[in-house]
Amino acid sequence: MLEDVWSVVPIKSMWPLTILEGILPLMSLKDVYPSITVGGLFRILILGIILWKIPRFVYRYSHFYRAAIRVQTIGPVHPLWGNLNLIKEVPDYFELIQQCVQKTRTRTYVTWITSLSHYFGVCHPETAKLLLKSSEPKPKGIGQGYRSFIPWLGDGLLLSEGAKWERNRRLLTPAFHFDILKSYVKTYNEVADILINKLLNASKSGKSIEIYELVGLATLDTMLRCSLSYDGNIQQKGDSHPYVRAVRRLTQLCLERTLKPWLFMDWMFILSPQGREFRRLINHVHAFADDIIERRRSNMSTSNTNTRKRLDFLDILLVSRDENGSGLSDRDIRAEVDTFLFEGHDTTASAVTWALYCCAKYPEEQEKIYQELTFLTDNNDYMGWDSIKGIDYLNLFIKETMRMYSPVPMIGRRLTKPVLVDNVLFPKDSVIEINISAMHHHPDVFPDHMEFRTDRFLDANVGDNDPFSFVPFSAGPRNCIGQNFAMNEQRVLIARVIRRFKIKLDPQHETKIFPEVVTRPQFGVRVILEEREPPSVFL
């Protein structure tokens, strides 16, 4: 009987029989299935897997579908493409959501990616706080935005989860202590000096200049100096500096991958031209950080870190220890440094640029800020720690700017357990968008949301507001660990520019909001700068 079995098995296919031996008794195979072949067995096996998977998929999909149909959709749903036929560019998506929120005043929404896939969204303090108060992880599945950044940022605070995230969050918290932040003020001013000189030279012609690019270089310069004590003439070299060029291009490639479904699968992306370029740039930025980390660790073994005038972010990561005396590996340190640089420079550049734009758009606000700065700093451009803590009106102005133009328009979470949101049970593994931009413009939260009002953040007016109504740095346990660092940097850069220049908008240039990873101006922000005369009388 065994010979009969061999007679129907091609020689090249004989090896699977060793696998099948443990599943089906070979001696009785022909008695049960007289004409079966190994190929037929594999087809049966595949069919069995499919038949086993289909009920699981239907059961799982039905849970998501029952929740999704009870939530406000952002627009008409195509039977095949969902809402995708309404979206050509990323800003179209944000505009659709904004229109939906303004029209329906909904607190939740659903975006149908196809007829079988969707994302939930929350856009109101009452619904957002349910997620912000938790430490739910970021969504990193196939086709989800955060996944594109994993090869670059690794398991840094942005993308890590669970016990590792909790441990690293504890280890990194001392890096943003009051005393550490205070030591960075000199660096902020040194970076501002370079920016001011560049603005002076560019404004001599009397023509308008584009500031988003210049501010972005300044914030990246700040991050490199404060995190790695690296001074590579970033602002002077710009894109000619290989690290600057690599970081900017990596950000573009991550976003590009998120928007192109054929690049979702890792193997497809790796084989693509974008994937090959991505890997080359990743190797460069990782080698850049690894080299600095290795040299710093080596220097620490031969010198006393306490003798240095200022500890940077890397110093603190190298000496951090948990309750068991264990520190961070070089790979962990690199991930945190890369995350700090990525999250810190682009978001702050967005915030500072939009603040300067609003100064130009609302000259009466600009004048109030200037008068406050004149009183605090006398005839000295330098912004010291005491001056930073005394700029009350500028603080209100920055907050209102970040409400109008949220630096990070949206963040994501993946549910590890079902959550009841507005009487709808969002199932486990749901992907939830926390739409900060829509929340900051929700008509039930800010009825006059398109009016620029700094007074809305006065203590007298904030009292009755939900603390989750204004969350430019997120909120809860996964909030931005470096928000005080970022706010101080903004204060210094904005104050130094306003102290030196009167800013006006270029009437020939249209400034368009372009929300992506950060909210940036699509065609930049062009302003006309007039150097101020030093004040002779102080209030």
Q: Which residues are annotated as a binding site for heme?
A: 480
Asked whether the beta carbons of 432 and 122 are under 8 A apart, the reply is yes
CA distance 507 to 538: 32
CA distances from 55 to 62, 267, 395 (A): 10, 28, 56
Q: What angle do the packed helices 392-404 and 363-377 form, to 10 degrees?
A: 150
Helix (H) or strand (E) holding 527: strand 526-531
189, 382 contact by CB (below 8 A): yes
Binding-site residue positions: 480
Give the Cα separation of 296 and 309 in Å (integer). 15
Q: Which 8-state DSSP code applies to residue 137?
A: P
- Give the whole-angstrom CA distance, residue 82 versus residue 522: 27
Give the Cα separation of 372 and 367 in Å (integer).
9
Give the DSSP letter of residue 532: P
Closest CA to 439 of 213, 225, 126: 126
Question: Residue 116: which residues within 8 A CB-CB, separation 6 or more?
Answer: 61
Output the six-digit token pair for 409.
């328009």
* CA–CA dist 413, 425 (Å, integer): 15
What distance in Å separates the CA atoms of residue 48 and residue 55, rounded to the nearest whole number? 12
